Amino acid sequence: MLNRQVRSNITAKKSKPMSEQINTIAILGCGWFGLALAKKLIELNYSVKGSTTSPEKLELLSEAKIAPYLINFTADEVIADDAFFKADVLFICIPPKRNSPTLKDYPDKINAIVKASNNIKNIVLISSTSVYADNNEAVNEERETHPDTDSGRMVLEGERVLKDLALDKYTVIRFAGLIGPERNPGRFFAGKSNIPNGLAPVNLIHQTDAVGIACEILAKKAFGRTYNACSPQHPTKQDFYTHAAQTSGLVLPQFIAEKHSWKIVESVHVSKYLNYQFKVSI
């Protein structure tokens, strides 16, 4: 099938009435999280479409029984096969790259993607808890956001673009730091010394729970909300990373016993609306 360019200045059409039943999921961005989510959804008997920007990854998706699509997007347009956007739910899994020259293009990319997918009933944006500043307090979905980094500001602006365009169709999942397969936290600080802020709490989530929360939103059809996805355990940075390095047989890191510029991310909506029980302790 020939690809069609879907430009960001397309006039949005009214969404067509669709069945409440969810059968087909489209995942834009089958990276570390997106691919894990796609594989789990296949296990749960959903029909899954997955996208990549790398031609060499198409075979990998196909082998996992994921319908593969090569999709490229910029701040101005989405170049894709129309068939990809024929789905009941779209997951947008393309976090902005920190310290990248294209970081500021992120909100415009979200704009182009949402307009290209305007006939999809529900859109789920994978976001980040970086939208909350390190203001030495606990934060949750019902608190105001005040990002203190450039990436956090762009992530929040992407959320706002989605909410403005998708209205009641949007769902946002703000992930804390992701750990799990191929992301061994023991390697993060192994062998390093004089690491600051050793007594600050960590905000992390294992891939198992990240995928589990996304699946629970689908199962309960709990769309139209923002969810913080963060483990309820918040050990100190020093304790967590020292233990992780020790468990992996790596050189132990050395932290400075101080606490400044921190936050504790609470997942209030995950408990309230999903009744999800975290499976992996931090």
**13 pLDDT tier (thresholds 50, 70, 90):** very low
Q: In this model, does residue 19 exceed pLDDT 60? A: no
Task: Give the percent of the chain with pLDDT over 70.
Answer: 93
Provide the β-strand partners of residue 226: 172
| pLDDT at site 77 | 82
Is 100 exposed, middle or buried, given 0-12, 13-18 or 19+ CB atoms closer than 10 A? exposed
Angle (CA) 149 71 103, round 5°: 15
* 231 neighbors 180 (Cβ within 8 angstroms): no
C-alpha dist (Å) from residue 229 to 127, 128, 193, 203: 10, 9, 30, 10
* pLDDT, the chain, mean: 90
Residue at token pair 């067509």: 16
Pairing type for strands 77-80 and 72-73 reads: antiparallel
Q: In this model, does residue 227 exceed pLDDT 60? A: yes
**Domain architecture of the chain: domains with CATH:** 23-181+203-233+263-274 (3.40.50.720)
Could you give the CA distance from residue 64 to residue 265 in angstroms, rounded to a whole number? 34
Taking the CB of residue 184, how many other CB atoms lie within 10 A of it? 15
**18 pLDDT tier (thresholds 50, 70, 90):** very low
First to last CA, the chain: 46
State pLDDT tens for residues 115-151. Answer: 898 889 899 999 999 999 999 999 999 999 999 999 9
State pLDDT tens for residues 254-264. Answer: 999 999 999 99
Task: Give the percent of the chain with pLDDT over 90.
Answer: 80
- DSSP assignment letter at 83: G
| pLDDT at site 221 | 95
* 84 neighbors 69 (Cβ within 8 angstroms): yes
* 269 neighbors 225 (Cβ within 8 angstroms): yes
Q: Which of 108, 107, 69 is nearest to 90 (CA)?
A: 69
